[in-house]
Amino acid sequence: MGSRHETNLETELTAPQGNFAVQRYPKRQNERLRAWDAADEYLLNYVGQPDIDNDLSGLTMLAQRHSALVVNDSFGALAIALAADMSDAASLVSWSDSYLAHRALTANIENNEPGLPIRTVSGLDSPGDSFDLVLIKVPKSNSFLEDQLLRLRPCLSADTKIVAAGMVKHVHSSTLQIFERILGPTRTSLAKKKARLIHTKFDPTLTPPPTPWPVSWKTNGIDVSSYAGVFSAAKLDIGTRFLIDNLPTDLPSSADPAEFNLVDLGCGNGVIGTVAASVYPGAEPTFLDESYAAVASAERTFRSAFPERTAHFAVCTGLAEAANHENQIDVVVTNPPFHQNQAMTDAVAWDMFNDAHRYLADAGELWVVGNRHLGYHTKLKRVFGNCETIASNRKFVVLKSQKSKR
């Protein structure tokens, strides 16, 4: 099967299952990063081409399998290629903590075969029962991998075929030990294009300990909760600490002291928005993140501190889900990520800054912390026309930009 749209070298994935148009999400002009990596290619080649070590025996065996699960599929490349060659009676589930990954999968299905039956499930929910085939992209975080495999155990049987893939730099002896300790006997493949496969045989007799997540710790008198995989899950990172210590105590002129709209954008475990809400008793905060685990963590953090206060929580791609219309939000606070999945990029920060400018009220403010070398002040001046340095040290800056009155 091929794509129904024109493709180029950056968007055309060629695999044994066919050629597919797969793009990163959200779609950006002049995108230079691909929506898959060598580990995705290695995994698809292994499943799609029979060889001496491959007991799947290629596409014929895959088509006969009743159910398959894909874990941590960043933009849908794995799920779309696999679903294209599965039988109509088979089912495929994509299991991910990333809302953006699910949106990317939906968009890329439309680019290839609209209506392709792939079910998406959040990483905090059970993906289902007794999968015949499980394909896993190895995440960077060992604690996140450990939590995922513990959640995955009830979905497996002794007959489940489990194959994981990752770039060599993310597959260490500790990675293999996690697979072996939680699922069963594990071995690795030879490296190809700096990628490696992990083969695990499920052992139903193992009794690993339950997941320790979510964990809790205290800062600024607040009990912070974090699920696995959330940024700075086990302790307060120094950038966030710097922002918290320098949050402005005066409100923008757009805000009503008794009631104003505060948004923690890319909230992680919600510590920034919760501390800001403690500074401003009249704030009705909203916590937004594309990670299901992050938003669940933020809700636990805020509810622990303020069980009676009104707050809103949404897994989403941006401020459109937090505002009924543009020019509505008074304050946005954020510690933007400078990566998407495992790629370093400032595109996410750019999106956040533009989103904030669109939805902030006149004279509303965006408060940002970032590494000095990222040059956020230049970007903010381009978007807002102004940028004030609230605080700085050798590594971080806290910046404030205000939306000009129309």
Q: pLDDT tens digit string along 77-119? A: 999 999 987 876 678 999 999 999 999 999 999 989 888 889 9
Task: Break the chain into its structural domains and give their ranges.
Answer: 12-201, 215-402
Q: Is the pLDDT of residue 342 over 60?
A: no
Mean pLDDT of 277-299: 94
Mean pLDDT of 305-328: 85
CB contact at 8 A, 16 and 48: yes
Which pLDDT value is given to residue 259?
A: 73
Mean pLDDT of 292-307: 97
Which pLDDT value is given to residue 6?
A: 44
Which pLDDT value is given to residue 130?
A: 82
Residue pointed to by tokens 């050629």:
19
12-201 CATH choice from 3.90.550.10, 3.40.50.150, 3.20.20.100, 3.40.50.12710? 3.40.50.150
Give residue 345's region: left, alpha or beta (phi > 0; psi -120 to 50): beta
CATH 3.40.50.150 fits 215-402, yes or no: yes
Which pLDDT value is given to residue 89?
A: 60
Look at residues 116, 113, 298, 130 and name the one whose alpha carbon lies nearest to residue 224: 298
pLDDT in tens, 163-205: 999 999 999 999 999 999 999 999 999 999 999 999 999 999 9
Which pLDDT value is given to residue 61?
A: 53
Mean pLDDT of 134-158: 96
Which pLDDT value is given to residue 340?
A: 45
Look at residues 261, 277, 272 and name the one whose alpha carbon lies nearest to residue 294: 272
Residue 50's pLDDT band, with cuts at 50, 70 and 90, is low
- Is the entire prediction scored with pTM above 0.85? yes
What's the CA angle centered on 57, arms 55 and 59, to 5 degrees?
135
d(CA 90, CA 60): 13
Mean pLDDT of 227-254: 89
Query: Could you check whether 12-201 and 215-402 share the same CATH topology?
Result: yes
Mean pLDDT of 213-241: 95
Which pLDDT value is given to residue 126?
A: 95
What is the residue-averaged pLDDT of the chain? 88
Which pLDDT value is given to residue 346?
A: 67
Q: Is the pLDDT of residue 380 over 90?
A: yes
Token pair of 322 as six digits: 């937090």
